[in-house]
Amino acid sequence: MATISADLVKQLRERSGAGIMDCKEALTECDADLDKAADYLRKKGLATAKKRADRVASEGVVQSYIHMGGKIGVLVEVNCETDFVAKTDDFKEFAKNIAMHIAASSPLGIVPEDVPEQEAEKEREIYRQQAQEMGKPENMIEKIVEGKMNKFYKENCLMNQLYVRNTDLTISDYLNEMIAKTGEKITINRFSRFQIGG
């Protein structure tokens, strides 16, 4: 069995944001393999998130972020279960990071269902025309359109986007890590992004 050095635990902590004991356990389970341990923690976070899915998140914060000398502004509501967690620095930093990410990546909605139907239909039509112009057979066109729509949602829905400060994670992964860390249900409820001339 590999020995787990304090330095290795520190590296995993910095990478995952998980507690010392969780990092030790992950490294022990994964024979001191840092990448595997990080995945192990992510899966554990996912399991915690699933367990908490039916809990009520009625506390939280409305976080603002202003960028580019006042040219872009974001308000985001992030909810948790208790006022205690809402007041922690970790939670406030998470909310601020989400607001900053929204300013940078301009999502159309939180999940695919939030994207306005006319916006999605417009994209579908563009992809359909592109496939037809490339001479693709009719039976292939819908598959191509669906593949491109999945990519569109990945790029334009907050939960599917790669987190701008760590592109190894999606926002969904980052949220699940926060759920695992706090032990509470956390939701990104809604946001507004304002841009001068936008």
**Each residue of 25-36: pLDDT tens digit?**
889 889 888 888
Both structure tokens of 97: 């990071």
Among all chains, which residue has been given the structure tokens 């040219």?
A: 71
0.85 cut: is pTM over it? Answer: no
Pick the CATH number of 116-155 from 1.10.3470, 2.20.200, 1.10.286, 2.40.128: 1.10.286
Q: How far is CA 103 from the centre of its chain?
A: 14
Q: In what order do the strands lie in the sheet with 187-195?
A: 59-67, 72-80, 187-195
Both structure tokens of 33: 């393999």
Strand partners, 79: 60, 187
Query: In the CATH hierarchy, which fold is given to the domain comprising 6-52?
Result: Helicase, Ruva Protein; domain 3 (1.10.8)
Task: Decide if 6-52 and 116-155 have a common fold.
Answer: no
Provide the 8-state DSSP code for 81: S
CATH code, residues 59-110+157-195: 3.30.479.20
Q: Which of 112, 57, 104, 100 is nearest to 76 (CA)?
A: 100
The pLDDT of residue 15 is above 90: no
d(CA 2, CA 95): 37
List the chain domain ranges: 6-52, 59-110+157-195, 116-155
Task: Give 113-168 pLDDT, tens digit per residue.
Answer: 998 889 899 999 999 999 999 988 888 998 999 999 999 999 999 999 999 999 99
